[in-house]
Amino acid sequence: MFIRRKKPWEIPEREAVPEEVYLGRRRFLREAGYLSLGSLMLSGAGVGIFGLFEGDKKEDIIKLPRTPTSGLYPVKRNLIYTLDRPITDEIEAASYNNFYEFTTGKDVWKHVKAFKARPWTIEITGLVEKPRTYDIDELIRKVALEERLYRHRCVEAWAMAVPWTGFPMRELLKISRPLSSAKFVRMSAFMNPDWASGQRTRLWQPWPYEEGLTMEEAASELTFLATGIYGHELPAQHGAPMRLVVPWKYGFKSIKSIVRIEFTDRRPQTFWNTLNPEEYGFTSNIDPDDRMQRWPQKTEKMIGTGELRKTILYNGYGEHVAAIYK
């Protein structure tokens, strides 16, 4: 039997997921008889619900697709974007994720086996001069890929430092040419219950996952559409084949596995803001003075090391984005 050793930087399950999801799952496990000490010890059913077991291997955790654009990685690093901390270990970053389409636990890599990143298309639509649906590999070849080192901060008060590969969203704006009437960008993730058990079982949640930015935010030099990580293509748990990265915002704003980007004159209804607007604001910039009952934001704990650091307004990217909010 594998024994899971809790990492010092892990947070309790009740703090890692929305309260209504956590309580619902705990109720299910209790009714199923899995929350007694005896059943946990003997069956192992609850011991390894989240995180790594001893014996897990890198090739099991990080499964990379072979695609028509695999040969483009790794790419040159943009040295403008630097870090004040070490890059998070790749295995730690790949085994501690949020991806609610698949699971409310952090062991997303165990739940993405049915996911397929090819074929994949990205629809560009709405208030644009050039609406179009792109094959993902066609879009990747159309832009200049670069690597950027970004800090990544979850609303649950844990953090990573990640080398992303991709392209600035402003490049997509140049290609699609939004109209002056476009004030917001709405992004939608995939919808496929055959792949994603969360979409199949949590029917009360507003699937597909959607997120949004203002046009000013979308045009920021920091706003990044990532297609790779750690020098290779994105594995499924990181949001393959393309995801958003907005490093001055809490991680839930960085929508994964995008299939549609719409330019609109109305503020989008987003996934977490719809479920719990008091804790998940539309803007959701990282702020040490945020008053959240479950997640005090004054400090953040680094994944992999457990180092406790002070939270910085805008995650330290204020010189790039603060002017947007004046």
Q: What is the pLDDT of residues 48-73, one digit of tens each?
A: 333 444 557 888 999 998 999 999 99
Residue 259: name the closest of 134, 90, 86 by CA. 134
Q: What is the 3-state secondary structure (H, E, C) of 1-19?
A: CCCCCCCCCCCCHHHHCCH
Q: Are 158 and 301 in contact (CB under 8 A)?
A: yes
Considering the domain boundaries, does residue 13 fall inside one? no
Domain that holds residue 90: 56-325
Tell me, what's the pLDDT at 278?
Answer: 87
Tell me, what's the pLDDT at 49?
Answer: 31
Which DSSP letter does residue 88 get? P
Considering the domain boundaries, does residue 217 fall inside one? yes
What are the per-10-residue average pLDDT scores of the chain (326 residues)?
48 51 41 35 31 67 94 98 97 97 97 97 98 98 98 97 98 98 98 97 97 98 98 98 98 98 98 94 96 88 97 98 97
pTM, to two decimals: 0.86
CA distance 101 to 189: 9
Number of domains in the chain: 1
Considering the domain boundaries, does residue 41 fall inside one? no
Considering the domain boundaries, does residue 19 fall inside one? no
Through-space distance between the first and last CA atoms of the chain, rounded to whole angstroms: 56
Tell me the CATH number at 159.
3.90.420.10
Considering the domain boundaries, does residue 32 fall inside one? no
Tell me, what's the pLDDT at 40?
Answer: 30
